[in-house]
């Protein structure tokens, strides 16, 4: 009897221990009923990344955002306040920006904040936030101008203007802006997606802290390996030299001939297909530490279907680094509410791009638009509505490291997506379609990374090494296909998740569709926590 009783006790102890072991993976407390992906999961209290036979694996996206999201967006003291005046406020606001821009930079790289007091500011032209270290701040982004700062953009002069441009305002080519005499070839045979290190032939040209560009030329061999960009189409829409893969990085360490950079690459550098090289970025005209906060830009139009007779974009961040937009609302643009271009390490936080006015056609209604040379951009807790492409990478192969986290879309006409020609390293993390449109331009597709074939100028493979994580299409379709030399992933997503796209292409890696309990709930936040040992929300 005593032995039987002891066996019963031991059995109960075993059951209890086994239960808790199923909830805990080496220190990570896994919620009851949760499941982990086979491609990235906790093992030995660390995220483990599993590669396929081609070496494809999920990269770390947590380096996106202001200063790699490693520090909180600072609260910059107000040094000048203005109120609205009657008539056109363009010159009034610009003169105030210029006054703050004339102040000296402090030790942290800031001059101060210009406060636009609550009120209605009519603006007939373009405002240029063209000084490093200046923050433009309102008193709220609501519609009531008594309590909030509302910029009312009137007219269409100059034609197709942007209302507010932050940065140097040039879309410089990263493959042209280099310091001569600083080129060195990467001699590593294969640098895997997600890597931080590689070997070069002349490390003596560089020092720790140097800003470098990694250039993977667009060769005939690379194009051939990727079906010339457009699968099953005899026409060669992509051309040699057209689509170099470019990464803007800083050197963290030099060990002999091996260089370590500050953020991962988002595509393989395969020497059999292309001889990659690096060079110093000259940073000419690049502005830093600029903020836009707590204001509303309402573009006035001739009606919902007004064909471009009003401002094209509300906010553009162009030729800019380590900057942010926070708590802002933009309305009635015909192209973009917030656009980035030659922009690096940018945070767009708790902001809205709503109700674009214009026809529903190509080149319009790209609400949050990561355009040419946008890299390491974070869109966090943002909201888009009535978009053709609510969250979109539209700068071809020069775009990478775009993270859309815990954001929403309402009444999409078609998909948030990688739009054209091999954008890399896009993460849609807990992106939700909160209200669906009965009829839409793209069938019922509202998210996807897929082959866009011969559309427009041969968009072809629109995204590579990109991830949809715990996204919800609200019953609509998510399209996920695999490019020839890369992979895309849809893990734990809800909706009609498949590889069925408008053009042929093999299905990407799809796992756990319509299955609740994916752990971690947010890939971005899990990667950030492991990298920094900080909770991401504590810095927002």
- Non-local CB neighbours of 321 within 8 Å, separated by 6+ positions: 286, 287, 288, 343, 344, 345, 346
| Domain-located, residue 264 | yes
201-224: average pLDDT: 97
Among 128, 115, 134, 126, which residue's Cα sits nearest to residue 88?
126
Q: What is the pLDDT of residue 16?
A: 32
Average pLDDT, rounded, for the chain: 93
| Domain-located, residue 38 | no
118-133: average pLDDT: 98
| Domain-located, residue 517 | no
- pTM of full prediction above 0.85: yes
**139-153, 209-223, 333-347, 440-454: least confident range:** 440-454
| Domain-located, residue 241 | yes
Q: What is the pLDDT of residue 20?
A: 36
Q: What is the pLDDT of residue 441?
A: 65
Among 65, 101, 98, 78, which residue's Cα sits nearest to residue 149?
78
| Domain-located, residue 409 | no
Place of tokens 């909180």: 72
The string of pLDDT tens digits covering residues 228-281 is 988 767 778 899 999 999 999 999 999 999 999 999 999 999 999 999 999 999
Q: What is the pLDDT of residue 506?
A: 96
Task: Report whether pLDDT(151) > 70.
Answer: yes
Report how many domains make up the chain. Answer: 1
Supply the range of the domain harboring residue 255. Answer: 184-280
Distance CA 342, CA 426 (A): 17
The string of pLDDT tens digits covering residues 156-188 is 988 999 999 999 998 877 767 889 999 999 999
Q: What is the pLDDT of residue 232?
A: 67
| Domain-located, residue 383 | no
Token pair in block for residue 436: 């669906």
| Domain-located, residue 460 | no
Query: Does residue 20 sit in helix, strand or coil?
Result: helix
Among 302, 324, 305, which residue's Cα sits nearest to residue 315?
324
Beta-bridge partners for 259 = 198, 254
Q: Quick one: pLDDT band at residue 19, thresholds 50, 70, 90? A: very low
| Domain-located, residue 319 | no
162, 341 contact by CB (below 8 A): no
């Amino acid at each position: 009897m005593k032995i039987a009783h002891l066996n019963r006790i031991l059995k109960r102890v075993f059951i209890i221990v086994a239960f808790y072991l199923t909830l805990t993976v080496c220190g990570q407390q896994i919620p009851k009923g949760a499941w982990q992906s086979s491609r990235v999961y906790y093992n030995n209290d660390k995220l483990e990344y599993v590669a396929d036979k081609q070496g494809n694996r999920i990269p770390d996206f947590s380096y996106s955002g202001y200063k790699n999201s490693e520090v909180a967006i600072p609260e910059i003291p107000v040094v000048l306040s203005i109120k609205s005046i009657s008539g056109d406020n363009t010159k009034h606001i610009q003169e105030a920006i210029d006054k703050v821009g004339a102040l000296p930079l402090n030790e942290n790289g800031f001059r101060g904040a210009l406060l636009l007091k609550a009120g209605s500011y009519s603006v007939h032209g373009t405002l240029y936030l063209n000084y490093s270290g200046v923050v433009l701040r309102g008193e709220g982004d609501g519609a009531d101008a008594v309590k909030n700062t509302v910029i009312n953009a009137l007219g269409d002069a100059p034609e197709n203007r942007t209302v507010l441009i932050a940065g140097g305002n040039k879309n410089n080519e990263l493959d042209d802006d280099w310091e001569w005499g600083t080129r060195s070839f990467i001699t590593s045979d294969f640098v895997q997606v997600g890597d931080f290190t590689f070997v070069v032939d002349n490390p003596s040209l560089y020092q720790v802290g140097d800003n470098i560009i990694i250039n993977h030329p667009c060769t005939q061999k690379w194009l051939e390996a990727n079906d010339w960009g457009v699968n099953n189409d005899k026409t060669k829409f992509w051309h040699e030299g057209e689509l170099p893969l470019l990464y803007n990085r800083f050197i963290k360490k030099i060990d002999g001939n091996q260089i370590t950079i500050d953020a991962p690459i988002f595509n393989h550098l395969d020497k059999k297909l292309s001889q990659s090289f690096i060079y110093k970025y000259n940073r000419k005209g690049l502005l830093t530490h600029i903020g836009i906060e707590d204001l509303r830009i309402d573009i006035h139009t001739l009606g919902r279907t007004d064909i471009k007779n009003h401002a094209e974009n509300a906010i553009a961040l162009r030729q800019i680094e380590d900057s942010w937009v926070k708590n802002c609302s933009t309305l009635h643009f015909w192209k973009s509410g917030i656009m980035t271009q030659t922009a690096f390490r940018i945070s767009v936080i708790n902001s809205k791009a709503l109700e674009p006015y214009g026809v529903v056609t190509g080149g319009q209604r790209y609400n949050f638009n990561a355009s040419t040379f946008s890299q390491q951009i974070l869109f966090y807790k943002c909201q888009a509505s009535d978009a053709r492409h609510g969250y979109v990478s539209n700068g071809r192969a020069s775009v990478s490291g775009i993270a859309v986290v815990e954001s929403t879309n309402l009444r999409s006409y078609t998909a948030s997506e990688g739009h054209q020609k091999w954008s890399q390293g896009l993460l849609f993390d807990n992106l939700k379609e909160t209200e669906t449109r009965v009829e839409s331009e793209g069938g019922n597709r509202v998210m996807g990374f897929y082959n866009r074939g011969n559309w427009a100028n041969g968009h072809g493979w629109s995204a590579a090494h990109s991830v949809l994580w715990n996204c919800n299409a609200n019953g609509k379709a998510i399209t996920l296909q695999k490019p020839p030399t890369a992979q895309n992933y849809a893990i734990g997503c809800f909706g009609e998740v498949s590889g069925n796209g408008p053009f042929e292409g093999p299905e990407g890696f799809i796992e756990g569709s319509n299955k609740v309990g994916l752990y971690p709930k947010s890939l971005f936040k899990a990667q950030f926590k492991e990298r920094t040992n900080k909770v991401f929300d504590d810095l927002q």
